[in-house]
Structure 1
């Protein structure tokens, strides 16, 4: 028994991924192309265990209406789309046609492109175009860190009771306990705000760079 999560060596991480719905060839090809085409930005892609978790959680929750803020080259959206219930829809928000151009190709290859709508533009503005009612089953946020409070403010009122919000990079490589830059400070403040938000119950998981899972009351 241990009182905290185990540190992951490369060997242990490979074991973990291999024993939890490991990525298929499409996901492996996407990860490889992202690294080859965008080596400086490839770290923005979610970890393989996060992809498996997103698919399983989406499926368990019976998600029909989902939103993603920050799509990059499409691994997280592909994972969510694969878990959607019959007739389910995922709306993705991003500002880059270059990154999402890669995503579109892999959505098509995986046969989920008909479930995904991509909206290009600043999410702080485009999220406001969503219906005002509480209809979303799941939201995943993995975009510019200083924008998280705005995205949270737009998403929570649109989540159905019991809806799930997942927020990535909430540990900032461990720097939230001693922030070094604006993004670190923004995430540290955001984490405090989520903890104090009575509209949700939340847990922070040590998955990859930290993943908050919140259930809207």
Structure 2
């Protein structure tokens, strides 16, 4: 059985994470000064390309990925739509944040093979619990052997049904205000409803991470003067984002975007 790699202490993890984020910020600042802030092109990014020496250096000095988690990431990348999962650096950031707030309960909307669920489970104590939601049974079964290899399968509570049903069941069961972390990486049509329910389930001081929202918001900005509209128009995201940024329950620093390197 594969033994987990030694964990960093929180101060050491913070130092490594801060160094990586600081270097990424400096790179973004440099690039931002050399180009217009709103170019409107998909390739604009504050981080260097994935295959650049700088990015690989940052990852090599900051990543501490459990062997089973790495195997699951590589397995997931081989699947159709596998590149839609969160990146390894995003997973490590969320795991470190979970450790910092001493999280014991987490929500993960959008299981797929369970990469994000496993990353969270490894960050939780032995009696921790990750409730993860998926509508397709096959992808999680690909990852289950690696959950087991990481000795974290008992922490992962897989719910094979629409995420809204699971969230409503948790609220009905009296679990409001008991979760420490919630990660939303599911269908964007229900994102506003996920946000409202997760906010009820999170405790004060909890963390809510919503992935892949910024591209939709930028698309909404470009659609403002369009004469074409549809039920799935990106414009629906503008009022929702406005509600989030003005939400009195959220700390000012709670709303941030996690940029991805250019692939």
TM category, shorter: 0.7 to 0.9
Q: Could you say what secondary structure the match of 1:200 adopts?
A: coil
Q: 1:9 to 1:90 in 2, by over 3 A?
A: same
Q: Could you say what secondary structure the match of 2:102 adopts?
A: coil
- Structure 1 position 189, deviation (Å): 4.2
- Structure 1 position 144, deviation (Å): 0.4
Q: 1:176 to 1:108 in 2, by over 3 A?
A: farther
Q: Which has the higher contact order (CA 8 A, sep 6+)?
A: 2
Comparing 184-193 and 156-165, the one that deviates more: 184-193
- Alignment-derived partner of residue 77 in structure 1: 117
Aligned pairs for 1:76-115 (under 5 A) are 76-115=116-155
Q: Could you say what secondary structure the match of 1:118 adopts?
A: strand
Does residue 74 of structure 2 align to residue 32 of structure 1? yes
**TM-score, normalised with respect to structure 1:** 0.84
Does residue 203 of structure 2 align to residue 160 of structure 1? yes
Larger Rg: 2
- Alignment-derived partner of residue 45 in structure 1: 85
CA RMSD of aligned residues (A): 2.4
Unmatched 5+ stretches in structure 2:
1-25, 33-44
Aligned pairs for 1:62-73 (under 5 A) are 62-73=102-113
Higher-strand-fraction structure = 1
- Alignment-derived partner of residue 56 in structure 2: 14
Given that 1:74 and 1:106 are in contact with CA atoms closer than 8 Å, whether structure 2 keeps it comes out as no
1:16-58 CA-partner distances (Å, limit 9, x unpaired): 222222434323322222222x23x112211010111121111
CA distance in 1 between partners of 2:92 and 2:205 (Å): 21
- Alignment-derived partner of residue 161 in structure 2: 121
Q: How many residues align?
A: 207
Given that 2:98 and 2:124 are in contact with CA atoms closer than 8 Å, whether structure 1 keeps it comes out as yes
**TM-score, normalised with respect to structure 2:** 0.71
- Structure 1 position 109, deviation (Å): 1.4
Q: Which of residues 205, 208, 213 in structure 1 aligns to 2:260?
A: 208
Unmatched 5+ stretches in structure 1:
210-217
